[in-house]
Structure 1
Amino acid sequence: MKTDIFVNVTTTDLERSKAFYSALGCEINPLFTDDNAACIVWNEHIYFMVLTHEHFTGFIDKPLADPRTATQVILALSRESRGEVDSILVDGLAAGGREPREATDYGFMYSRTLEDPDGNILEFLYMDPVASDEGPTAWES
């Protein structure tokens, strides 16, 4: 079964969000992008739909949380190496993101957290392939 992931996040400034995610290496799919939303392509199976607050609220019956003051989800994306984790953070910080905490290094897993300009939380991580396949205790052996 083929599964694609579409993550919906909100923004107060769609153009700023498009520039931010483009700086991280993502593409914008123009077929699903307009004045209300942008389709951010991470890869062939993962997409972020960045929606203006007004457009986002058309899909929900609850109050919209402000990601700058409340956290509902942390979006974690793997990278191929520790260097790639560090590199995407450098790009994200240069594009207006914020790193709210220090890197986490468990030996078998390394991660860094980046908030986009709207406060949506992205975590980029690298996990050693042995730990990924067999669990963290296998890496320690």
Structure 2
Amino acid sequence: MAFQAQQTFVNLPVKYLKRSIDFYSALGFEFNPQFTDDKATCMIINANTFVMLLVEDFFQTFLTKEVADASKSTEVIVAISADSRAQVDDIVNKALAAGGKPSKEPADHGFMYSRSFQDVDGHLWELFYMEPGAAEQA
């Protein structure tokens, strides 16, 4: 039987926790106060997916390597699906208005639409909408 995780936690280092909380709050995300203190917060993506935003010094305690500078290099792109093309545009526009930076031009493949941005720490995020049934037809 293949492994299937019950929950997913993406951990990202941030320079200033409050700035990151303010940024993601402006996009409409909520946080779990049980897992929030001055070193970290738990951002809720959905019922089983979370992003732990960890202050860089605290993030470093989990590593044997140095923390990458996301403003200069990329190790991961966090991609999340949206309910519609309009929602993709809405969230990315909110990200840009809240201090994020554009990452690349929107991609429209007919069955799938995506846009991306860099958050206030330089982490890459991609929002996409895929027409229902498109994955099965591919």
TM-score bin, normalised by smaller chain? over 0.9
Q: How does 1:57-96 map to 2 (within 5 A)?
A: 57-96=60-99
| Alignment correspondent of 1:50 | 53
- List gaps (5 residues or longer) in structure 1: 136-141
SS in 1 for 2:122: coil
1:123 counterpart = 2:118: no
Kindly provide the CA deviation profile for residues 13-42 of structure 1, in whole angstroms up to 9, marking residues without a partner as x.
100100111111111111000010011111
Q: Over aligned residues, Cα RMSD in angstroms?
A: 1.1
| Alignment correspondent of 2:6 | 3
CA contact (8 A) 2:103 2:124 kept: no
Task: Detail structure 1 runs of 4+ shifted over 4 Å in the superposition.
Answer: none
Give, as a single letter, the amino acid of the residue that structure 2 aligns with 1:40.
M
| Alignment correspondent of 2:18 | 15
- Separation in 1, partners of 2:111, 2:44: 28
Kindly provide the CA deviation profile for residues 85-130 of structure 1, in whole angstroms up to 9, marking residues without a partner as x.
0000111111111112110111111100011100011100001112
Aligned pairs, how many? 135
Q: Which has the higher helix share?
A: 1
- Separation in 2, partners of 1:102, 1:67: 19
User: How far did 1:73 drift?
Assistant: 0.3
SS in 2 for 1:90: helix
Q: How does 1:30-49 map to 2 (within 5 A)?
A: 30-49=33-52
- List gaps (5 residues or longer) in structure 2: none
Q: What TM-score, normalized by structure 1, do the two folds share?
A: 0.92
Identity fraction in percent: 44
Q: What TM-score, normalized by structure 2, do the two folds share?
A: 0.94
| Alignment correspondent of 1:138 | none
Give, as a single letter, the amino acid of the residue that structure 2 aligns with 1:127.
M
